[in-house]
Amino acid sequence: MALTGIQILKMLPKKNCKECGIPTCLAFAMKVAAGQIDIEKCPYVSDEVKAAINEASAPPVRAVKIGSGDATFLTGGESCMFRHEKRFENSTGIAVLIRTDMDEADIDGRINRFKSLRYERVGVIMKSSLIAVKDADGNQERFITVIQKVLTGAHDAALILISDSVDNLTGGAKICGDRKPLLYGATQANVTDMALMAKGMGCPLGVRGVDLDDTIDLTEKLLAEGLKDLVIDTGARSMKAALENSIVARRSAVKGRFKPLGFPLIAFPCEMTDNPMLEAMIASVFIARYAGIIVLSDLQGETLFPLLLEQLNIFTDPQRPMVVQEDIYTINGPNENSPVLITCNFSLTYFIVSGEIESSRVPAWLLVKDTEGLSVLTAWAAGKFGADQTAGFVKKSGIMNKVNHRELIIPGYLANIKGELEEELPDWTITVAPREAGHLPAFLKEWKPAA
Ligand code: SF4
């Protein structure tokens, strides 16, 4: 169980010296318990106490790192069942499967799709993160050749190496060097050798149980061997059974603090059906319910994009709106006669408005006011986009030195603000239009500064 603030306070020196930057030891203890400050900030806590507190406050689903540098993928680190309770930490990684018995064109196609199927939305690059190389027939030379091809062809792919052979996984891990792959997977038949190998190579290890009980037995053995960075496959290959296992594993880890299941899960929709559309639907279930990694048989835009969008929706922090910085943004190279628009800093609004301006090809200035991530109408209702604040921002922004005219456009529905804003900015003409962002290109093409 996580420690309470009072339990942590009992372990502190109680000097109330403020050296941690917090006024009292009690306030510091409360912040440590809430995960808002690191225990290291108190210079008077002993190493034993630090270790005890860090152990007690570690997330119940361990965070596991795969790869390094540009090819780093972090999974796990979760501490809740539902994202509204706190937030989900590390989004589900989408991996594409490459088998060593595929021909070169199939392998190249998957590597190329891994590199090309990338999408930008609200300033976030959405993409698959991992490539899983499966040793289909035990041929080590072929396994190494394919791994090498992936290493050179996809520099930012975190790797999963799949084989029953400890020797083949060792050879694969060696050529991966610093790109420390996930080595998959330990079974009852090879668990001791796999543990030794993963320890020796310094790589995370995948666990492949037959069922949930077998998975628990395997992770207990690996924990006893001192391995910590594990990713678990509960063995089920029907969606229903795998989903049940997934929920039981997360609940046992989070609610029961049951360590043998306190690891990120890997799911294989690619082994649950031959139908690509059904595979994508199964994958969507495991993004919603607790898979740290899902392995797909291939990547296609029409199924990858919705999965990435689902991933983005589920793994954004519900308590922290996505925002862009308050600033003047230049779009299409504006000059002193270009239109001036203003909107809020809710990133979805910003990217929709800026995208429409960009596609109009009309040079424009876009003022973005800090509304703490609220949309225009909500911000106005909350008193963060009122006439006085908006006028104040326009004045201090410096836009008056950049344009010769005094015309301000507010896209959207905020007609109420027009009169008040004209009182606050008496030299300016305020236009509240167009109502829909999609009408901005036509509106801007017609816009001209008043003579
Ligand atoms: S530095 Fe340590 S002893 Fe000093 S106030 Fe902070 S928690 Fe208390």
Tens of pLDDT, residue by residue over 118-129, are: 998 877 899 999
For residue 29, give the ligand 1 atom closest to its CA: 7
List all residues 6 or more positions away from 450 whose beta carbon is below 8 Å from its beta carbon.
405, 407, 429
Whole-number Å distance, alpha carbon 315 to ligand 1 midpoint, is 34
- Smallest CA-to-CA distance from 364 within 372, 374, 354 is with 354
Query: Which pLDDT score, from 0 to 100, does residue 33 have?
Result: 82
Query: Cβ(387) to ligand 1 under 6 A?
Result: no
For domain 327-446, the question of CATH label 3.30.420.40 is answered with no
Mutate to test the pocket of ligand 1, among 19, 37, 45, 50 (most ligand atoms within 8 A of CB): 19
DSSP code string of 63-92: -EEES-GGG-EEE-----SSGGGS---SPP
List all residues 6 or more positions away from 230 whose beta carbon is below 8 Å from its beta carbon.
62, 64, 204, 205, 206, 207, 219, 222, 263
pLDDT band at 303 (very low <50, low <70, confident <90, very high): very high
CATH architecture observed for domain 5-57: Orthogonal Bundle (1.10)
The residue nearest atom 7 of ligand 1, judged by CA position, is 25
Query: Cβ(413) to ligand 1 under 6 A?
Result: no
What is the pLDDT averaged over residues 241-247? 97
* Three-state DSSP state, 97: strand
For residue 44, give the ligand 1 atom closest to its CA: 2
Query: Which pLDDT score, from 0 to 100, does residue 225 have?
Result: 95
Q: Contact, 183 vs 208, CB < 8 A?
A: no
Average pLDDT over the chain, rounded to whole? Answer: 94
The residue nearest atom 6 of ligand 1, judged by CA position, is 20
Domain boundaries, the chain: 5-57, 64-315, 327-446
Query: Which pLDDT score, from 0 to 100, does residue 451 have?
Result: 65
Query: Which pLDDT score, from 0 to 100, does residue 155 have?
Result: 96
pLDDT tens readout for residues 352-395: 999 999 999 999 999 999 999 999 999 999 999 999 999 999 99
- Distance CA(333)–CA(407), nearest Å, equals 18
What is the pLDDT averaged over residues 93-115? 98
Look at 110 and 7; give whichever has higher pLDDT.
110
Class (C level, CATH) for 64-315: alpha beta
- Smallest CA-to-CA distance from 342 within 298, 386, 304 is with 386
Whole-number Å distance, alpha carbon 170 to ligand 1 midpoint, is 48
Q: Fold identical between 64-315 and 327-446? A: no
Whole-number Å distance, alpha carbon 63 to ligand 1 midpoint, is 29
pLDDT tens readout for residues 411-440: 999 888 999 999 999 999 999 999 999 999
What is the pLDDT averaged over residues 299-317? 94
What is the pLDDT averaged over residues 202-217? 97
Question: Phi-psi bin for 21: left (phi > 0), alpha (psi -120 to 50), beta?
Answer: left
Rg (CA), the chain: 27
Query: Cβ(19) to ligand 1 under 6 A?
Result: yes
- Does the pTM surpass 0.85? The reply is no
pLDDT(1) > 60 = no
